[in-house]
């Protein structure tokens, strides 16, 4: 009846919709059996909109107050109804919600408490409908699922249920024993156990451990299994085994994830853990086992945990972020934030996101932006592929999914894969075909926006009997409200398409809690409580408009219709803390909130009230003020600092616990006194009534000697380019910027910002910023030009600089840097110029000759030569000896490669850096003040490292000399200025920066930094050495190429974009590179004792002259499609294409791959999937008995090559015909689980005893034998007991213990007594 009344009220359409939205939210928030039945009826009768139905169902588990067995059955009928089952987007969410309700109400949950003392038992695990109807329905839904997306959601629903009967089914899916098994389904079944695994820890932890330690298992399961292990509080010995396994792990990503997890946990400080956090013990164990793990140098780990505890507020939280590379092109991100609010533990946000098939998407995008001719294979490469019979590798399929959980139990999920995309394409095309352009009418035009939402979090209500016979009422709740109103207008004009958004928003947060009783005389509520309120009201209407054709965005802000020019004070932002006492009728008689009732009084403290007001905004024509009313003992700057100290001066913590802001005592302690502040806007006194801003972005580029081109976007023709026009000021700026950059490849962007304040006397502000960047193999240049036409003091800011880094590996190389910052009314008025260079000192060269890495390199090189000699005396028939030597050769080659590369980097480390800073004769006072502050701050921070202060020796400039010491990882600095000379000795650098500085000659600084941050190379490298190969995945094996071309590295997908071939003539490598239709050949021309003096380079048969220290462009069809070559001073040649970078050292060649690690590569360099297992596959994707045989299968079958022996050819044909494929070996999860269920004779469980009128519970779980088992051996152990008075609370604890839970809060209760008890060491089954 109320619903029909709301729908029939008079008023505008917007008012009607607002009333309906608020009514809908109130019904959802009520959560009573009657409102749940109302929601059921409305959904079944299709009375709700699609969005209302979805929101009602997804929040049902959160708001339901009394889920009795009958009400749960009614909800079950709802999810089975056609109104739910026929909507795929509603069906999956309904099953997830229903499983959550059954788990919380029937199977028990520590986070959900229902009013059983009032309404009786809600539900129990003995409810027959659970096993007879609910579970069979969900299982049948899994079996009937037609698509993989439906199966994934069905698995999640079964996992949320947490019933013991569904765990074996999920474990079967984890193992892959079902007919529809796939890696994706196995992974989802594993994740489905995430929320409930702790209920069955003793049975599931061995399953997770087995998966993690199975080297033949898929990475897509191993990494999630490791994440699950960490949640199950593993024993120290189990973490030790994980740590040690990193030394033998073949999968790089698994090793990185294990080390990163242990390292991040180990670095958490003990005092940073909130009370009750599971991370406390885990981090202690991680600290113990971390030294056993193989270190992976990286600054940014794959998993990052932020944990903090605020002792003054007695609250804390942790935030976990995890980035997992699960397969060749699958990446998952997981985030969880958990709050610990004294007696409340809640998870406000938990989410996961995964994406797969990014390489496929990247290839499709590249095809659209490159010329069609580039996608055609070179004829010779095509012939080679045919002769080698290379089977195209299948591209990874597109998968995209996201899952979000809010406030513990509100779940949202979405999943898209190649099946969904294909189906969506079909439906869209069918809709266009059936309705033609009329389908655009649903998109184009004006769409009203009117959305309100009321959300309640952490509601708590309790009625406690007292000795006086009066009920004690306790209630608390957090309520959030937000409102968005406006309009979306999409203009589908063919000539000038645009989109505009007009919105006005309001939001508020309220926490209200009280304790009181009902007066037996007046039947009124008598209570004392506290109210915390925060609200934001933006009294403006925002209009955002975007025009793609002009690359222009306009933003207009005006007063909304509810604000008039005569309006006085409007609270834009308001916050208050109000302690109060109230006397009012109970809520069933009077709906007025207690804090706003006329009988309510604010509790005042002895501190005198203080009021402050600060005005601002007058320069913009706005009358704004900040008003503060508080009962702080003192309100000054120190009070503000103390307020931040409560949050450990952490802005993230302040944002997390925004509801904990309060008044402070003189000692800086938080207190529940009256405290409020507001930001007020007074329209009647403000001359500015509206504001407009437009941003126009222009982009231009320049390639070598070509003319600069400007790019524009057209609706019909896409991206178009045209010459820069001289009559346009913007295009003049772009051209000037490109001229200053002066690079072979240059880019420039201009942003013109016009801002206008309307009302009274109009004010206009114009800003223009132009930025440019360019690079070649030696230099990176940049230019920034900023203009502010209204500023009378500093109208222009110009930044012009370049960075010249050596690409040669010579130790004589220099790294140069220059940057000029000019500013003022012109770019010549003031300037600060910085010139610097880095070089390799003699001391660093000497260090590289006697370092540990140098000694290891020399030792490995000698051992390698010794093994080569032994090879000569071993016959082909002696397979066992040859295999042993090859294995040893591979190990030594890898060791030599690692240590010699490190030695080479040390010899080229730019350990000495000099900077010279000069300025104009005069500078603004503010610049001098800033420099003085920086000088003082530097001395304060590095005070302990100051070794000498002397009189100045320089005038009119500042000179800084930095010297890096790699041996002790420190840096010394000598600073000479006109004021003084200061020397800092051996400033300790963080360990993480050891791989970042000093820079290394021949390495791109960005690539060097990326490897230091992530632990992975920017571009993975394959090395073709003398008698050995190290693949992209760091697998080394013995192989010597001959005078016949070998396919070294190639894209073996359907597109076959590139390939690199090599052969060896007289001990020197000859390289052939195929890129699209281009063929590049590189070979040594003259050599002396293996030292190459000259190279011959040809492009498509035409010889190209190479000049030292000069980069040449061999082919350039666009900025993204270029082939270049660079001949360095140390006689190495680099050939760079869009996909590869080949460096020729004469005897050794390295290939760097720029594409993604998708596993679609083939050749001697491996499949490039970050996994050493089965790295070298044959052209048909087969795994051969030896790497040498697989490498021989990539030997060219050209008539110009000497054929392989008949025996080897026959062996290759035999293994190709058998074609052993690399397959992961599924872990026998089900048998392990069944074994644990059968053999699990001991459990850890709290024990409790009754003592007088108290119940005493062991503070920690103790070992006990199960009901059908008996102890085999016993030992004495001291047990600590916590005692609670008998009553409702003690009964709840007893019930939780019987369910196998371990209440964390018992650890923080005072110990009542200790007792020595016998504990079983091991248990065995009882004799029948």
d(CA 714, CA 545): 17
Which of 95, 97, 192 is CA-nearest to residue 145?
95
Is there a contact between 699 and 749 (Cβ–Cβ < 8 Å)? yes
Helices 148-161 & 418-435, crossing angle to 10 degrees? 120
Is there a contact between 912 and 841 (Cβ–Cβ < 8 Å)? yes
Q: Write the burial class of residue 438 (CB in 10 Å: 0-12 exposed, 13-18 middle, 19+ buried).
A: exposed
Strand intervals (E) in 1016-1057: 1021-1024, 1028-1030, 1036-1038, 1046-1051
d(CA 1127, CA 1140): 17
Q: Tell me if residue 1245 falls in helix, strand or coil.
A: strand
Residue 130, pLDDT above cutoff 70:
yes
Query: Which of 450-459, 870-879, 1176-1185 is predicted with the least confidence, judged by mean pLDDT?
Result: 870-879
Confidence of residue 763 (pLDDT cuts 50, 70, 90): confident
d(CA 323, CA 32): 41
The DSSP bridge partners found for residue 542 are: 503, 557
Per-residue pLDDT tens over the stretch 534-548? 999 887 877 877 776
Phi, psi (5° rounding) for residue 63?
-100, -20
Query: Which of 517-531, 801-815, 886-900, 1083-1097 is predicted with the least confidence, judged by mean pLDDT?
Result: 801-815
What is the average pLDDT score of the chain?
83
Q: What is the pLDDT of residue 844?
A: 87
Helices 167-175 & 183-192, crossing angle to 10 degrees? 150
Q: What is the pLDDT of residue 1122?
A: 80
How far is the CA of 384 from the CAs of 668, 1083, 1183, in angstroms? 77, 20, 21
Q: What is the pLDDT of residue 335?
A: 92
d(CA 902, CA 54): 58
Q: List the structure tokens of 329.
A: 């092109």
d(CA 1105, CA 1112): 9
Q: How many Cβ atoms from other residues are within 10 Å of residue 1013's Cβ?
A: 15
Q: List the structure tokens of 911.
A: 């350990």
Confidence of residue 292 (pLDDT cuts 50, 70, 90): very high
Q: What is the pLDDT of residue 372?
A: 42
Q: What is the pLDDT of residue 720?
A: 67
Residue 601, pLDDT above cutoff 90:
yes
Per-residue pLDDT tens over the stretch 914-949? 999 998 888 888 888 888 888 888 889 899 999 998
d(CA 64, CA 28): 8
Helices marked H in 483-636 — which ranges? none
Task: State the average pLDDT over residues 808-823.
Answer: 75
Q: List the structure tokens of 544.
A: 């955002």
Q: Tell me if residue 327 falls in helix, strand or coil.
A: coil
Per-residue pLDDT tens over the stretch 610-656? 999 999 888 788 889 999 999 999 988 898 898 988 888 888 888 88
Q: What is the pLDDT of residue 239?
A: 94
d(CA 211, CA 217): 7
Q: What is the pLDDT of residue 774?
A: 58
Which of 1141, 1222, 1112, 1242 is CA-nearest to residue 1176?
1222
> Which residue matches tokens 């000054």?
636
Is there a contact between 772 and 782 (Cβ–Cβ < 8 Å)? yes
Q: Tell me if residue 836 falls in helix, strand or coil.
A: strand
Task: State the average pLDDT over residues 200-220.
Answer: 90
Greater confidence (202 vs 514) lies with: 514
Q: List the structure tokens of 866.
A: 């010794």
Q: Tell me if residue 349 falls in helix, strand or coil.
A: strand
d(CA 269, CA 1076): 54
Confidence of residue 371 (pLDDT cuts 50, 70, 90): very low
Q: Tell me if residue 331 falls in helix, strand or coil.
A: strand
Greater confidence (1291 vs 628) lies with: 628
Per-residue pLDDT tens over the stretch 1146-1180? 788 999 988 878 788 999 999 888 888 888 999 99
Q: What is the pLDDT of residue 496?
A: 64
d(CA 56, CA 26): 11
Residue 437, pLDDT above cutoff 60:
no
> Which residue matches tokens 């909304």?
560
Per-residue pLDDT tens over the stretch 1233-1246? 887 776 666 777 88
Residue 373, pLDDT above cutoff 50:
no
How far is the CA of 880 from the CAs of 877, 884, 887, 1300, in angstroms? 9, 6, 11, 56
Q: How far is CA 68 from the centre of its chain?
A: 41
Is there a contact between 857 and 892 (Cβ–Cβ < 8 Å)? no
Q: How many Cβ atoms from other residues are within 10 Å of residue 900's Cβ?
A: 17
Strands lying side by side in the sheet with 1248-1251: 1248-1251, 1254-1258, 1269-1285, 1313-1325
Is there a contact between 547 and 555 (Cβ–Cβ < 8 Å)? no
Residue 86, pLDDT above cutoff 60:
yes
Residue 102, pLDDT above cutoff 70:
yes
d(CA 668, CA 648): 13
How far is the CA of 251 from the CAs of 210, 245, 1035, in angstroms? 16, 11, 11
Is there a contact between 972 and 948 (Cβ–Cβ < 8 Å)? no
The DSSP bridge partners found for residue 1233 are: none
Task: State the average pLDDT over residues 980-1004.
Answer: 85
Q: ω before 727 within 30° of 0 (cis)?
A: no
Residue 1326, pLDDT above cutoff 70:
no
d(CA 915, CA 815): 12
Per-residue pLDDT tens over the stretch 440-484? 566 777 888 888 889 888 888 888 888 888 889 999 989 999 888
How far is the CA of 415 from the CAs of 188, 349, 1256, in angstroms? 12, 19, 49
Residue 363, pLDDT above cutoff 80:
no
Q: What is the pLDDT of residue 277?
A: 84
Q: List the structure tokens of 1328.
A: 């029948």
Q: Tell me if residue 358 falls in helix, strand or coil.
A: helix
Is there a contact between 773 and 746 (Cβ–Cβ < 8 Å)? yes
Is there a contact between 26 and 52 (Cβ–Cβ < 8 Å)? no
Q: List the structure tokens of 291.
A: 């030294």
d(CA 978, CA 894): 53
Per-residue pLDDT tens over the stretch 658-671? 888 899 999 989 99
Confidence of residue 582 (pLDDT cuts 50, 70, 90): very high
Greater confidence (172 vs 1272) lies with: 172
* Cα torsion angle, 293, 299, 300, 304, sign: positive
Query: Which of 20-34, 721-735, 1143-1157 is predicted with the least confidence, judged by mean pLDDT?
Result: 721-735
d(CA 565, CA 119): 55
d(CA 514, CA 469): 19
Q: Write the burial class of residue 164 (CB in 10 Å: 0-12 exposed, 13-18 middle, 19+ buried).
A: middle
Q: Write the burial class of residue 6 (CB in 10 Å: 0-12 exposed, 13-18 middle, 19+ buried).
A: middle
> Which residue matches tokens 């802000």?
557
Q: Tell me if residue 256 falls in helix, strand or coil.
A: helix
Residue 89, pLDDT above cutoff 90:
no
């Amino acid at each position: 009846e109320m619903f029909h009344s709301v729908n029939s009220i008079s008023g505008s359409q917007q008012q009607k919709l607002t009333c309906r939205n608020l009514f809908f939210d109130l019904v959802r928030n009520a959560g009573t059996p009657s409102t749940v039945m109302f929601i059921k009826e409305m959904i079944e009768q299709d009375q709700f909109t699609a969005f209302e139905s979805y929101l009602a169902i997804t929040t049902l588990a959160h708001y339901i107050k009394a889920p009795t067995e009958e009400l749960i059955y009614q909800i079950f009928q709802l999810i089975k109804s056609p109104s739910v089952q026929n909507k795929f987007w509603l069906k999956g969410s309904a099953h997830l919600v229903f499983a959550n309700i059954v788990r919380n109400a029937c199977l028990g949950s520590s986070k959900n408490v229902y009013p059983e003392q009032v309404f009786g038992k809600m539900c129990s695990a003995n409810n027959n409908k659970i096993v007879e109807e609910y579970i069979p329905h969900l299982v049948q839904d899994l079996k009937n699922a037609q698509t993989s997306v439906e199966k994934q959601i069905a698995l999640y629903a079964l996992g949320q249920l947490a019933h013991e009967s569904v765990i074996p089914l999920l474990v079967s899916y984890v193992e892959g024993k079902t007919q529809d098994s796939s890696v994706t389904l196995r992974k989802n079944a594993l994740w489905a156990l995430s929320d409930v695994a702790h209920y069955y820890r003793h049975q599931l932890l061995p399953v997770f451990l087995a998966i993690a330690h199975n080297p033949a298992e898929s990475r897509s399961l191993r990494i999630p299994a490791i994440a699950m292990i960490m949640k199950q509080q593993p024993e120290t010995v189990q973490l030790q085994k994980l740590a040690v396994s990193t030394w033998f792990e073949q999968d790089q990503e698994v090793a990185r994830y294990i080390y990163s997890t242990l390292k991040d946990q180990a670095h958490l400080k003990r005092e940073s853990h909130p009370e009750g956090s599971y991370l406390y013990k885990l981090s202690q164990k991680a600290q113990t086992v971390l030294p056993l793990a193989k270190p992976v140098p990286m600054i940014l780990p794959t998993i990052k945990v932020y944990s903090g505890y605020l002792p003054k507020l007695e609250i804390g939280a942790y935030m976990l972020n995890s980035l997992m590379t699960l397969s060749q092109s699958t990446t998952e991100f997981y985030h969880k934030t958990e709050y610990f609010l004294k007696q409340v533990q809640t998870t406000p946000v938990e989410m996961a996101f995964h994406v797969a098939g990014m390489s496929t998407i990247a290839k499709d995008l590249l095809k659209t932006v490159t010329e069609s001719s580039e996608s055609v294979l070179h004829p010779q490469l095509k012939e080679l592929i045919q002769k080698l019979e290379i089977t195209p590798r299948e591209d990874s399929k597109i998968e995209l999914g996201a899952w979000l959980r809010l406030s513990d139990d509100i779940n949202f999920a979405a999943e898209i894969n190649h099946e969904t995309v294909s189906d969506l394409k079909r439906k869209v095309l069918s809709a266009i075909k059936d309705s033609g352009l009329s389908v655009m009418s649903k998109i184009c035009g004006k769409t009203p926006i009117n959305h309100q939402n009321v959300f309640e979090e952490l509601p708590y209500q309790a009625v406690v009997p007292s000795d006086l016979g009066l009920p004690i009422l306790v209630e608390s709740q957090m309520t959030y409200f937000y409102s968005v109103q406006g309009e979306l207008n999409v203009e589908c004009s063919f000539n000038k398409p645009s989109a505009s958004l007009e919105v006005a928003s309001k939001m508020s947060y309220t926490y209200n809690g009280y304790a009181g009783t009902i007066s037996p005389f007046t039947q009124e509520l008598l209570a004392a409580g506290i109210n915390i309120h925060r609200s934001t009201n933006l009294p403006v209407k925002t209009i955002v408009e975007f025009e793609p054709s002009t690359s222009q965005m306009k933003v207009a802000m005006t007063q909304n219709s509810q604000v008039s020019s005569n309006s006085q004070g409007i609270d834009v932002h308001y916050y208050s803390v109000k302690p109060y006492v109230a006397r009012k009728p109970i809520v069933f008689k009077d709906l007025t909130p207690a804090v706003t009732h006329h009988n309510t009084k604010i509790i005042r403290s002895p501190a005198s009230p203080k009021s402050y007001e600060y005005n601002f905004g007058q320069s913009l024509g706005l009358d704004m003020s900040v008003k503060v009313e508080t009962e702080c003992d003192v309100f000054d700057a120190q009070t503000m600092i103390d307020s931040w100290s409560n949050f450990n001066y952490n802005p993230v913590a302040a944002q997390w616990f925004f509801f904990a802001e309060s008044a402070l005592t003189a000692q800086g302690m938080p207190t529940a006194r009256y405290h409020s502040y507001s930001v007020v806007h007074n329209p009647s006194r403000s001359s500015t009534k509206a504001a407009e801003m437009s941003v126009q972005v222009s982009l231009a580029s320049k390639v070598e000697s070509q003319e600069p081109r400007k790019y524009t976007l057209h609706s019909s023709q896409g991206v178009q380019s045209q010459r820069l026009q001289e009559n346009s000021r913007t295009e003049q700026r772009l051209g000037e910027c490109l001229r200053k950059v002066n690079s072979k490849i240059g880019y420039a962007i201009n942003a013109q910002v016009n801002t206008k304040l309307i009302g009274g006397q109009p004010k206009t502000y114009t800003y223009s910023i132009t930025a440019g960047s360019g690079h070649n193999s030696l230099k990176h240049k940049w230019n920034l030009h900023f203009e502010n036409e209204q500023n009378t003091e500093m109208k222009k800011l110009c930044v012009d600089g370049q960075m010249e880094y050596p690409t040669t590996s010579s130790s004589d190389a220099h790294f140069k840097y220059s940057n000029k910052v000019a500013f003022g009314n012109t770019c010549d008025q003031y300037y600060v110029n910085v010139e610097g260079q880095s070089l390799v000192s003699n001391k660093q060269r000497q260090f590289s000759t006697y370092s540990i890495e140098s000694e290891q390199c020399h030792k490995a090189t000698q051992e390698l030569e010794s093994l080569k000699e032994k090879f000569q005396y071993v016959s082909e028939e002696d397979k066992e000896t040859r295999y042993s030597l090859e294995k040893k050769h591979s190990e030594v080659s890898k060791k030599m490669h690692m240590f010699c590369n490190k030695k080479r980097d040390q010899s080229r480390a730019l350990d000495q850096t000099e900077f010279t800073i000069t300025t104009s004769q005069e500078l603004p006072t503010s610049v001098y003040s800033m420099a003085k502050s920086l000088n003082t701050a530097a001395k304060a921070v590095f005070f302990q490292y100051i070794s000498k202060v002397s009189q100045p020796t320089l005038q009119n400039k500042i000179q800084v000399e930095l010297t890096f010491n790699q041996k002790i990882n420190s840096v010394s600095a000598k600073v000479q200025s006109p004021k003084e000379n200061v020397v800092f000795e051996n400033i300790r650098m963080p360990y993480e920066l050891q791989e970042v500085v000093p820079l290394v000659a021949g390495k791109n600084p960005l690539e060097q930094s990326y490897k230091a941050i992530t632990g992975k190379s920017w571009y993975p490298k394959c090395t073709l050495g003398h008698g050995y190969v190290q693949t992209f995945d760091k697998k080394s094996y013995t192989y010597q190429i001959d005078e016949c071309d070998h396919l070294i590295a190639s894209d073996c997908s359907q597109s076959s974009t590139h390939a690199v071939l090599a052969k060896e003539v007289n001990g020197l490598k000859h390289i052939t590179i195929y890129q699209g239709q281009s063929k590049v050949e590189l070979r040594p021309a003259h050599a002396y004792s293996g030292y190459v003096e000259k190279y011959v380079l040809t492009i498509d048969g035409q010889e190209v002259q190479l000049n030292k220290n000069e980069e040449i462009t061999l082919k350039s069809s666009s900025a993204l499609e270029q082939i270049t070559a660079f001949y360095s001073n140390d006689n190495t040649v680099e050939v760079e294409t869009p996909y590869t970078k080949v460096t020729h050292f004469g005897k050794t060649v390295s290939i760097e791959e720029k594409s993604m690690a998708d596993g679609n590569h083939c050749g001697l360099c491996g499949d490039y999937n970050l996994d050493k297992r089965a790295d070298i596959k044959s052209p048909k994707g087969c795994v051969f008995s030896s790497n040498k045989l697989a490498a021989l299968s990539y030997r060219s079958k050209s008539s110009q090559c000497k054929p392989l022996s008949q025996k080897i050819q026959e062996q290759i044909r035999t293994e190709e015909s058998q074609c052993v494929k690399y397959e992961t070996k599924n872990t026998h999860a089900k048998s392990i689980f069944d074994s644990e269920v059968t053999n699990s004779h001991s459990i850890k469980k709290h024990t409790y005893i009754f003592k007088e009128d108290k119940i005493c519970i062991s503070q920690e779980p103790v070992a006990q034998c199960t009901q059908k088992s008996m102890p085999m051996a016993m030992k004495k152990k001291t047990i600590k007991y916590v005692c609670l008075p008998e009553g409702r609370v003690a009964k709840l604890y007893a019930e939780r213990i019987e369910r196998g839970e371990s209440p964390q809060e018992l650890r923080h209760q005072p110990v009542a007594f200790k007792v020595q008890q016998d504990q079983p060491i091991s248990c065995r089954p009882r004799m029948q």
